Structure 1
């Protein structure tokens, strides 16, 4: 990536006057979105309400109460679906009509709040970033419920952008890293973690399995999980670490010894490139036309990046 410019101050010399005001919420707003095609104003607030207004008349068209305070919004004009991410880690899909709203579905894959959403209307993919440092790709268009996890950051995800023409995902984090993911590869879903009272490799009891500890006269072991197969294993049977890029693990993670032997060097080849922005990123905006990325950080500096060397 090439750093094009450093921008510091923008001075506005003309006075702006609001053309309309909307009383949308009873507490602080958390997100707003203007849908030009529908002449709608979408908003969420700390009162756990999602509302939408007519931008021309100011009339409130409806609202929906979410289970937790909403943090981010995305809207699909074709289907009139709105995607709402909240601080519990849940994503809610609503269907908006002119004067009513219906719940389509909810899904949860994050262990912390959703911080950002990105919707690709072409391939009908929804990407969610979270404070748990992970990104999840939800295959909405495939209607198979596929969810792919990406692990490549050490702090909360601040923004994600998708370049559908090259099938590359750009993610920015509070750790200062900018990661460009190649999504044009056949990725694998991460397995669900299995439950067991003993190691599924050596059958040694875990520390809460008092009966087996008593019967075998052995001290219980701590439970871990293999990131490749999902089995519950002890530390002795999962002494190895490996990257599994096709499963989204660009950093080394715990795997059981038998799975470690099956991972080839080709399968460890990275599917993402990592770049240091030299500041803790707070806000991001991506221009897909010129392939420019604008970042702002805690250092009070704006940086404009030319992404053409890494985004095809």
Structure 2
């Protein structure tokens, strides 16, 4: 098959359909009959594709691209239709993982974050997971234990417990002054002139989303149920409301000791394969932590 002009970025074989899905830097997403090689259809994406998943039951293709957008396409034997698009990442979508049981899509990105999209519930819920210090390079899901495995260029392998009730992160609110002490931000010239005070820098509390100044958000805390496994900025009142139970981690962290560029998990054996930029391939027994 020679239909993609430029570098091929993702290839996916759908055994049940006898289809071969492929994408490349020419922004073309195509699918072929794997037996005859005949091209069945194609779709032009807005940016070159960097992630791809397929659901056999619904015939939905999940396409993640360089702009941070995820597109859902409904594939037929010789045509496709656009279902929807959504965007939550600020960088390339580098990895996609689909859970056909819970009907949840996970996306990883260059922006170091993972987003869990509620596709089956159709609620539009997006749960953000922050547990890496570099770009997310791979995602796998152990559906029998409801655990997400993520790998990153920072060398870490993170096991996320998804069998907990997670909370959606709030949208950041807009304000011309601190929503706690009412001091003006530096662009609020009128209030600065009226109060004869120098404007302050704006921050946001990760728990409530309010716009606050540095003095009113001087504390840090983990909020694992919101996906923040690392300490993040919270306002003083939210910090007081967070209990030790709220800070209980929902993920475990493991050092792979190499810069991971690719991963594959085999649930039947519990083995995880990682390859790194150091040209080393490692095989991990994940049964002690994925159980």
TM-score tier by shorter-chain length is: over 0.9
Q: What CA distance in whole angstroms lies between the structure 1 residues aligned with 2:123 and 2:168?
A: 12
Tell me whether 1:176 sits opposite 2:155 in the alignment.
Answer: yes
Please, what is the CA RMSD of the aligned residues? 0.9
Instruction: Choose 100-109 or 293-302, whichever is displaced more.
Output: 293-302
Q: What CA distance in whole angstroms lies between the structure 2 residues aligned with 1:182 and 1:111?
A: 25
Q: What CA distance in whole angstroms lies between the structure 2 residues aligned with 1:58 and 1:166?
A: 38
Alignment partner, residue 63 of structure 1 = 42
SS of residue in 1 equivalent to 2:201 = coil
* 1:206-244 deviations in Å (ceiling 9; x for gaps): 111111111111111111000000001000000000000
Alignment partner, residue 116 of structure 1 = 95
Q: What CA distance in whole angstroms lies between the structure 2 residues aligned with 1:23 and 1:42?
A: 13
SS of residue in 2 equivalent to 1:268 = coil
Highest CA radius of gyration, 1 or 2? 1
Alignment partner, residue 149 of structure 1 = 128
Deviation at 1:205, TM superposition (A): 0.9
Q: What CA distance in whole angstroms lies between the structure 1 residues aligned with 2:144 and 2:15?
A: 24
Tell me whether 1:101 sits opposite 2:80 in the alignment.
Answer: yes
Q: Is the 8 A contact 1:24 1:43 kept in 2?
A: no
Q: Is the 8 A contact 1:160 1:171 kept in 2?
A: yes
Deviation at 1:159, TM superposition (A): 0.5
- After TM superposition, what 4+ stretches of structure 1 lie above 4 angstroms from structure 2? none
Out of 56, 62, 79, which is 1:77 matched to? Answer: 56
Q: What CA distance in whole angstroms lies between the structure 2 residues aligned with 1:65 and 1:206?
A: 44
Structure 1 unaligned spans of 5+:
1-21
Q: What CA distance in whole angstroms lies between the structure 1 residues aligned with 2:186 and 2:177?
A: 9
Out of 7, 18, 21, which is 1:39 matched to? Answer: 18
* 1:267-298 deviations in Å (ceiling 9; x for gaps): 00111111111111111111101110111112
More RCO (CA 8 Å, sep 6+): 1
Equivalent positions of 1:271-282 (< 5 A) are 271-282=250-261
TM-score with structure 1 setting the length: 0.92
SS of residue in 1 equivalent to 2:134 = coil
Deviation at 1:110, TM superposition (A): 0.8
Equivalent positions of 1:228-247 (< 5 A) are 228-247=207-226
Equivalent positions of 1:189-200 (< 5 A) are 189-200=168-179
SS of residue in 2 equivalent to 1:266 = coil
Out of 273, 286, 291, which is 1:307 matched to? Answer: 286
